[in-house]
Structure 1
């Protein structure tokens, strides 16, 4: 087998050179990189700690807000799936996922993932996020896009792409997220993945922070000055006259 039809929109095809399975949409090969990626955060102790110490949290899919995300029922005969012995209700003890989006100007992303503009987002170069790999806890990792078939099909557990398919397939109504994921295989319970501070290309702050929480706003500006002095910072508002978002630069 060198091709698998997911639905009328998506297909998987075996690359004869790399021996990897590539995603196709409407017959066109999907790019394996994008120019920019954005990571959204609500404002809380965990997100501030991650910003100060420059790390991503690699979530267990069992903690996701969507129970159909990374759903083990995408594979047939899951009881016998040897590589998923630790799975219980989408719980992958040895897998960590960090999600990003291609878009920074989507209203729903700011509403859902920054607690309605009471959070912030970080911009990274989508072609390469510089991760510190000097830790034995992370066995290997990959950055890959998520696909959104109309009706995801169940696949045979023995297919060579079965594991990847389960971890990167979501229902069509989530397609507005334009999601990419770091998927890491872990060797312990530590779920922190460090990145180099220079990887951050811009910081975006939801308008409710300066509007309603001045001390938190000052704290974020101080963190930027201390950790990311060359990184531009923006406040994000609903535009006062148009139906889009406004990005106001704080300083040069």
Structure 2
């Protein structure tokens, strides 16, 4: 097999020269890299700590708000078909040896700010998507890839024998999630099963703070400003809020000192 038609929009095909599998959407090859990647955070103490100590939390897909994301049922095998009548519950996407960091290529989406920063009470980090890297740790991770999520009108199963089956399971979501424009860093965990993955703070390119953070989370707001001045003094910092006269978000540059 050198190509597979997923639905009327998406197709997977194999490049003859390299053997690499690519995704196409409406005939256009999906990019392997993104110019800018943004990580949204709520104002929890855990997220403030990750900012201060420059690390990502590698999520288990079982914690995702979409139960069909990374769901085992996206891969079909003859064994699955034999057992399907015996199943009393839907297979859940609990993958103890898998870690995922979800990011996005958009910063000005109103829903993202509402859903993932606690209604503009959190913050966002900007990375150069072409330079995303982590501090290697052989005991912690086994390989890793940074890929663009695809959004289908209807979830499609692929056979277990297909060489792209695992990737299909890890990057496929339903169409109504498309507003997220998600990219995700995916890695399999090493022997320690440690879900704290450190990154190079020098790769952070910008810090964005929701306009309500100062009022709804004042201590977190002050802490984020202190962390910026100590660890990231050279990167720009913005307050994100509704534009006073236009129906769009406004990014106000914040000069601390």
Task: Give TM-score scaled by structure 2 length.
Answer: 0.92
Q: Alignment partner of 1:201: what SS?
A: strand
Once the two structures are overlaid, the 10-residue window that deviates more, 57-66 or 9-18, is 9-18
CA deviations on 1:10-59 (whole Å, 9 max, x unpaired) are 00001222212111111111111111000000001110111011010110
Once the two structures are overlaid, the 10-residue window that deviates more, 39-48 or 12-21, is 12-21
Structure 1 residue aligned with 2:214, among 210, 216, 226?
210
Return 5+ residue gaps in structure 2 as ranges: 82-90
Return 5+ residue gaps in structure 1 as ranges: 82-87
Q: Alignment partner of 1:112: what SS?
A: helix
Structure 2 residue aligned with 1:229, among 226, 233, 241?
233
Do the aligned residues in 2 keep the contact of 1:238 with 1:245 (CA within 8 Å)?
yes
Q: In the TM superposition, what are the counterparts of 1:1-252 in structure 2 within 5 Å?
A: 1-77=1-77, 89-187=92-190, 188-251=192-255
Q: Distance in 2 between matches of 1:9 and 1:80?
A: 27
Q: Distance in 2 between matches of 1:214 and 1:43?
A: 10
Q: CA deviation at 1:60?
A: 0.4
Q: Distance in 2 between matches of 1:216 and 1:62?
A: 28
Q: Alignment partner of 1:148: what SS?
A: strand
Q: Which residue of 2 aligns with 1:84?
A: none
> How many residues are paired up?
247
Q: Distance in 2 between matches of 1:201 and 1:133?
A: 21
Do the aligned residues in 2 keep the contact of 1:6 with 1:152 (CA within 8 Å)?
no
Do the aligned residues in 2 keep the contact of 1:7 with 1:152 (CA within 8 Å)?
no
Q: Distance in 2 between matches of 1:48 and 1:213?
A: 12
Q: Distance in 1 between matches of 2:102 and 2:219?
A: 28
Q: CA deviation at 1:212?
A: 3.4
Q: Distance in 1 between matches of 2:16 and 2:195?
A: 34
Q: Distance in 2 between matches of 1:79 and 1:239?
A: 56
Q: CA deviation at 1:211?
A: 3.2
Q: Distance in 2 between matches of 1:111 and 1:214?
A: 18
Q: CA deviation at 1:239?
A: 1.5
